[in-house]
Amino acid sequence: MPVSYSYTPSHTDFIVKFGSGNFSSFITTRRFLAQGDVLTVLTTVTRSHKAYSTVQCGKGPQDNIELNSDFLYVNHSCEPNIAFDLSSADPTEWHVRALKNIDAGSPLTFFYPSTEWQMEQAFECQCGTKSCLGRIQGAKFLTGEAIVERGWVSPWIMELMNEGEG
Ligand SMILES: C[S@@+](CC[C@H](N)C(=O)[O-])C[C@H]1O[C@@H](n2cnc3c(N)ncnc32)[C@H](O)[C@@H]1O
């Protein structure tokens, strides 16, 4: 994990705020984002084994990517403001999109179970939103209803839900 003194920003529109505790860093936007805006196309990703830092990109347990960019620091929220859309069969179209209008200075957050079926590292959510689900461990541990109302769900999560894997 990089530390602030060795940090080179990957995106000029976003800034990582480094915390002093474990996993206490997060990313904010420097500029206003409108709903539907594409924040970035994910051009730096690499396939990887599942880790706290990876994003699931398909149905299989081997389908995970490292972002290799500032977007590593997107925290989870139960009321997220962005989506990781890795649904295209063409990986060059994988992108991050605003789910709502986002003010400059706001942290960027996504709903981790929208991509993750069973996470490598579960945690007690501190998003502080009204609809907070508490412990976050992946979609496998939630109802379909709890997932679909968050603005975006990856197709493999819907498939696994429909197969009764949850
Ligand atoms: C990909 S990292 C996100 C960046 C992380 N905050 C950091 O400083 O490296 C994912 C980890 O951040 C922490 N995290 C993310 N969202 C959280 C939340 N809503 N509540 C508590 N911890 C969270 C958890 O430890 C999680 O495993």
What is the token pair recorded at 47? 């396939």
Q: Is the pLDDT of residue 100 over 70?
A: yes
How many whole angstroms from 24 Cα to the centroid of ligand 1?
Answer: 7
How far apart, in whole angstroms, are the C-alpha atoms of residue 68 and residue 116?
Answer: 18
How many whole angstroms from 43 Cα to the centroid of ligand 1?
Answer: 22
Report DSSP state, residue 135: E
The pLDDT tens digits for 30-86 are: 999 999 999 999 999 999 999 999 999 999 989 999 999 999 999 999 999 999 999
Q: What is the pLDDT of residue 130?
A: 98
Q: Which domain holds residue 118?
A: 4-162
Burial class (CB in 10 A: 0-12, 13-18, 19+), 6: exposed
Ligand 1 atom nearest to 78, measured from its CA: 19
Residue 127 CB–ligand 1 contact under 6 Å: yes
What's the structural domain count of the chain? 1
Residue 115 CB–ligand 1 contact under 6 Å: no
Q: Is the pLDDT of residue 148 over 60?
A: yes
How far apart, in whole angstroms, are the C-alpha atoms of residue 28 and residue 118?
Answer: 26
Residue 26 CB–ligand 1 contact under 6 Å: yes
Average per-residue pLDDT in the chain?
94
How far apart, in whole angstroms, are the C-alpha atoms of residue 74 and residue 56?
Answer: 14
Residue 122 CB–ligand 1 contact under 6 Å: no
Residue in 94, 98, 87, 110 with CA at minimum distance from that of residue 44: 94
Residue 55 CB–ligand 1 contact under 6 Å: no
Q: Is the pLDDT of residue 165 over 70?
A: no
Ligand 1 atom nearest to 26, measured from its CA: 6
Q: Please report, as a single letter, which amino acid is at residue 65.
A: I
Q: Is the pLDDT of residue 2 over 60?
A: no
Ligand 1 atom nearest to 72, measured from its CA: 1
How many whole angstroms from 134 Cα to the centroid of ligand 1?
Answer: 13
Q: What is the pLDDT of residue 166?
A: 46
How high is the ipTM of this complex?
0.99
CATH of the domain at 38: 2.170.270.10
